[in-house]
Structure 1
Amino acid sequence: MRTILVLCLALAGCSESFSAEMEIAAAELKDPSSAQFRHLTRVGNLVCGEINGKNSYGGYVGFEPFYVRDGKATLADKTGDNLIDVTNELRIVNTCADARLSQLNEKMKN
């Protein structure tokens, strides 16, 4: 967990307030200790961002969207196949994107 937090701080400048959600999301990876995070955002009880991890061959697969809600992580490549699941995922991704844009706009104003 300490490695994950250090990577997050180095890559994204995130705070420790995301540590529980980062641990939950990292547990979904093949190699949880390889987790890298960026663009972490909190919207109410939802934490979203991008996660990267190593595959079976030891190579990083690239950053993918993820979110953690109510103690459960959902990674972009593990979403449901039916229309209701996909629609819900799109709503969540849009919520995360809107929050991230708001954060960036605030940074630009300052």
Structure 2
Amino acid sequence: MKKLVLIAFLTLTACSDLMQATYQPSKPNAKNVQAAKDHLTYQLIDPSSAQFRDIRGATATLADGTKRDLVCLELNGKNRLGGYVGFSPFSVGFKNGTIDPNQVATVYYCPR
């Protein structure tokens, strides 16, 4: 759990570009969705317990005019005691087809 809190803190401090962006809904690329799921699942205590819902896509236009593809989803996983902790929102940004580690946030940026 400490690791998850640390990851959340670091991603929130690193995602200022996403906070200042504008968003347009888009269909998420299947490859990006799988990459986002894999990236987030790897962080879990019990990776096999990962549950995903509300998967959406968006195109973010950053303050400098560059565009990023986003995959937004909600993730649930088990804690060390074996209980599910509840769904949490995540946004994963992509730059040139790969995950940009500075644009993984514990905030749901995609328009609903």
TM-score w.r.t. the length of structure 2 is 0.52
Unaligned runs of 5+ in 1: 1-14, 77-88, 101-110
TM alignment of 1:1-110, pairs within 5 A: 17=30, 18-44=33-59, 45-70=69-94, 71=99, 72=101, 74=104, 76=106, 93=108, 95-96=109-110, 98=111, 100=112
- Taking only the aligned residue pairs, the percentage that are identical comes to 43
Cα separation, partners in 2 of 1:63 and 1:31, compared to 1, 3 Å: same
Structure having the larger proportion of residues in helix: 1
- Which has the bigger relative contact order, CA under 8 A and spacing at least 6? 2
How many residue pairs end up in the alignment?
68
Unaligned runs of 5+ in 2: 1-27, 60-68
Q: Residue 67 of structure 1: CA displacement?
A: 1.4
Three-state SS of the structure 1 residue aligned to 2:48 is: helix
Structure having the larger proportion of residues in strand: 2
Whichever residue aligns with residue 41 of structure 2, its letter is: A
Whichever residue aligns with residue 49 of structure 1, its letter is: L
Whichever residue aligns with residue 83 of structure 2, its letter is: G
TM-score w.r.t. the length of structure 1 is 0.53
When the two chains are superposed, the root-mean-square deviation of aligned CA atoms in Å is 2.3
What is the CA–CA distance in structure 1 between the aligned matches of 2:42 and 2:74, rounded to whole Å? 14
What is the CA–CA distance in structure 2 between the aligned matches of 1:65 and 1:74, rounded to whole Å? 11
Whichever residue aligns with residue 50 of structure 1, its letter is: E
